[in-house]
Amino acid sequence: MASKITIPDLKKIRVTDPLFSHYADMVAKKMIPVQWEILNGKQGQSRCFCIDNFRIAGGTLQGEHRGVVFGDTDAYKWLEAVAYCANNGETEYISQADELIEIIGQAQQPDGYLNTYFTVCHPELRWKNLTEGHELYSAGHLIEAAVAYYNATGKRRLLDIAARFADLICGTFGDGEGQLPGYPGHQEIELALVKLWRVTGEERYLKTARFFIDCRGRTPNYLLREMNDPQHKLIFPELRSYDPSYSQSHVRPVEQKTMEGHAVRAMYQCSAMADLADIQQDEALRNACQTLWDNVTKRRMYITGGIGSTRVGEAFTVDGDLPNETAYAETCAAISLAMFAQRMSLTAVDSRYADIVERVIYNGFLSGTSLDGKSFFYENPLSIDLLNRRIKYWRGNEVRLPITQRVEVFDCSCCPPNVTRFVESIGKYIYSYDSDTVYVHQFMESDTDVAINGGMAHVSQSTDYPSDGSVTIRVSGAPAKLAVRIPSWCRDCSAGAERAENLGINGGYLFFDCEDGAKIELDFDMSPVIISADPSVHEDSGKVAVMRGPVVYCAEGVDNGDIFSLAVSPELNAEPVDLGFGIPALDVDGTRKLGAGALYAPADEIKYESTRIRLIPYFAFANRGESDMQVWMNIK
Ligand code: FUB
Ligand code: ZN
C-alpha cells in the first residue's frame, strides 16, 4: 500500500526564498564547480582522485586507486546535486554530468558490480568486508544519484547502471540458497533501494531493502564474524575492537530503544525504517522509529539539531551527554536527522517532525558552510574557547579540539557534497499532500502544484521568515484543505483567513478548508526567547541560550571581547541588527564581570558593568576570523 501523505514532485516546487535562493545560488555557481574541480584533481590538492579512480577501474587510465574506500560517493553526491539543480532550472552542468556518467559506466563490471576500490585494489575481497568496505553504502549513493538524475532529466543511462548494480545486490544478498545473509556496515543502500522501487516499481528492490533492515542485529553478528576472521584485512585501524553498536547491529532495528553508535549510520537506518514502516504499514517498525525518534530528539540532540556528540566513532554517547566545546555534531549527521524527520512526517500528522527539520535547517545544517560557500565544517562545536588552543595537553589527552575555522577540502569529504544535494533539494522539506490536504511544513517563499480532489491546487507562500514572522499563503485552483505547521517555538500566533474556513488545530497543524483564491495570513511572534536545557544536560546547567523563532544565537569574541565574562540579562531588551547574514543579529542587555582585582575574591566584592551583548545567528559563527564563541551563556 502506498503512503497516504506524499511529497510533490520536486520539479513542481519552486523556492524563491531569499535566504535559500542565496544558498542555492552559491551551490550552483560556486560549490558545484569547485567540487567538480576537486573530483577531477584540479585543485592542486593531493586528495583529489575520484574521477581518475573510475577511469582506472574502467581500464582507460593506468594507475593506483587513491583516497578513501568510499571515495566514489563524492561523484555520486555531485551528480545528485546537479540533478536537483536541473530541477531548479540550472542545467549548465548536465553535459559534464553526462561525461561523468559515461566514465562511471565504463567502470561497471560485466556482472553489474561497481566500486572502484574493490575493483582496482581487491577484487578478491568483494562483499567480504561489509563492515568497513562501504560497498553497499557507495551503491546506495549511486542509486540515489541515478534516481534524482532520471527524475530531473528523464535520461536513463545512470538509472540503468544503478539498476544493474542493484539487481546484482538483490541476487547476492538474502536468506536464499547461495545468498549472503549480510548487510552493510554503513547503512544507506536501504533508503536508496526504496527510492529505486518508487521509480521502477520493481518489488525486489523493496524486498531487499527490507531484508537489510530485518537481518541486521541477528545473532551471531555477521559483521563481528567478518572482523574476527583471522584472514580479515582491516581497513580502518580504529575499528580493530569492533563494537556492533557502532553500526547499530547490536540488536535488531525493530527492537532498538536508544540511538547508539555512528550518528549518520543510525539516521540512514532510521530513514529507511520510516520509509518501510509507511509503505508496508508496519506498526512494529513504526513504533521502533518513534522510540528512537523520542530518544534522539529528547535526550541526545543539541539545541542546534546537531547529533552525535563524540568524535570517537562520530557517535552518540549517553542521554544528556551534550558537551559544547567538543561537540562532534557532524554536518552529515544533522542532514540525516532532517532526512529521518521528513520521512516520519509522512507517517503521521505530527508537527514535531517538521519542527526538527526546521531546527536543523537554520542551525546545525547551515553552520556547516561558510557564508561565502567556500569552506565547511565537518564538526560543528557549540563553544570555542581559544584559551584551550594554547594548552598542549587537555584533560590528559593531546589536544584534539574541533577546528575553529571551516576548511575547503577534507580527506574524508562526505559533508560538502551532502550540503550541496541538501540545499538544492530543500523544496522537498516544505510541502506534502494527501488525498484532500496540502501540508505546509516549512515557511519559505515558494510555490507548488499538487493534484488533489480531482483537480490541481496551486499553493504559494510569501514571507521573509525567519527574519520576519509574517507568512501569507494563497491557495488557488481545486478546493483543498490546507494544514499549516504552528512551530513549537511559537508562543503567540495570529491567523487570518479569506475564502477559507479555520478548522482548528490537529497534530500541531492549523487546518483550513480553502476555496479557490483562499488567502491565509499568519503572524508568528518572533520575540527572542531565553532557553534553558533539561537538568539531564549537565553541560548546560545554569546556562541559557537565546533563540529568535527557529534560529539559535551565539556570542562571538569578535563582537564582544571576552565572551566568558558576559551574562545576558533576563529582560534581553533585544534590538535586531543587520550584519548581512540573511537573518538579523541581536543586540541584547547584559553584564560583564570585571572581577575584584584578585584571582579569587569574595563574591560580594566582584564588580560588574552593564553592557550590550551582540548575538549572531549560530550558523554564521566563524566567518570573521578565529574567535571565541558560545551558544550557552551565563544569565544575570
Ligand atoms: O563513512 C562514510 C562517511 O564518512 C560517514 O557517513 C561520515 O560520518 C564519515 O565518517
Ligand atoms: Zn560528513
Active-site residue among 414, 415, 490, 554?
414
Catalytic residue at 314? yes
Neighbours of 512 (CB within 10 A): 25
| pLDDT digit string, tens, across residues 323-375 | 999 999 999 999 999 999 999 999 999 999 999 999 999 999 999 999 999 99
| Percent of the chain clearing pLDDT 90 (strictly above) | 93
Nearest CA to ligand 1 atom 8: 264
Strand pairing report for 480-485 and 437-440: parallel
Q: Which residue has the cell 554503513?
A: 186
Residue pair 321/380 in contact by the 8 Å Cβ criterion: no
Catalytic residue at 330? no
∠ CA 90-94-100, nearest 5°, is 145
Ligand nearest to the CA of 335: 2
Does residue 521 carry a pLDDT above 90?
yes
Please, which residues have CB within 8 angstroms of residue 115's CB and are 6 or more apart in sequence? 57, 72, 126, 135, 138, 139
Per-residue confidence band for 397, with pLDDT thresholds at 50, 70 and 90: low
- pLDDT at 453 (0 to 100): 87
* β partners of residue 588: 613
Q: How far is the CA of 329 from the centre of ligand 2 (A)?
A: 10
Neighbours of 544 (CB within 10 A): 18
Average pLDDT on 506-535 reads 98
Helices 331-345 and 351-359 meet at what angle, rounded to 10?
160
Cell numbers given for 606: 566582584
- Ligand 1 proximity of 70 Cβ (cutoff 6 Å): yes
- Ligand 1 proximity of 264 Cβ (cutoff 6 Å): yes
* CA–CA gap between residue 568 and residue 589 (Å, rounded): 6
Residue pair 322/343 in contact by the 8 Å Cβ criterion: no
Active-site residue among 314, 358, 539, 556?
314
- pLDDT at 285 (0 to 100): 98
Does residue 396 carry a pLDDT above 70?
no
Please, which residues have CB within 8 angstroms of residue 614's CB and are 6 or more apart in sequence? 555, 556, 559, 560, 577, 585, 586, 587
| pLDDT digit string, tens, across residues 217-248 | 999 999 999 999 999 999 999 999 999 999 99
- Ligand 1 proximity of 296 Cβ (cutoff 6 Å): no
What are the angstrom distances between the C-alpha of 305 and each of 204, 261, 332, 348, 631? 35, 17, 12, 21, 13
- Ligand 1 proximity of 314 Cβ (cutoff 6 Å): yes
pTM for this predicted structure: 0.97
Max distance between CA atoms of the chain, in angstroms, equals 80
Q: Which helix (H) or strand (E) holds 451?
A: strand 446-452
- Ligand 1 proximity of 77 Cβ (cutoff 6 Å): no
Neighbours of 488 (CB within 10 A): 15
Q: Which helix (H) or strand (E) holds 482?
A: strand 480-485
| Percent of the chain clearing pLDDT 70 (strictly above) | 97
Ligand nearest to the CA of 266: 1
Residue pair 528/546 in contact by the 8 Å Cβ criterion: yes
Q: How far is the CA of 414 from the centre of ligand 1 (A)?
A: 6
Residue pair 63/53 in contact by the 8 Å Cβ criterion: no
- Ligand 1 proximity of 52 Cβ (cutoff 6 Å): no
Please, which residues have CB within 8 angstroms of residue 32's CB and are 6 or more apart in sequence? 78, 81, 82, 85, 93, 420
Per-residue confidence band for 1, with pLDDT thresholds at 50, 70 and 90: very low
Q: Which residue has the higher pLDDT, 389 or 337?
A: 337
Q: Which residue has the cell 518513534?
A: 290
Measured from the Cα of 308, ligand 1's closest atom is 8
Q: How far is the CA of 136 from the centre of ligand 2 (A)?
A: 17
Measured from the Cα of 412, ligand 1's closest atom is 4
Ligand nearest to the CA of 376: 2
What are the angstrom distances between the C-alpha of 457 and each of 29, 326, 438, 480? 32, 48, 9, 7
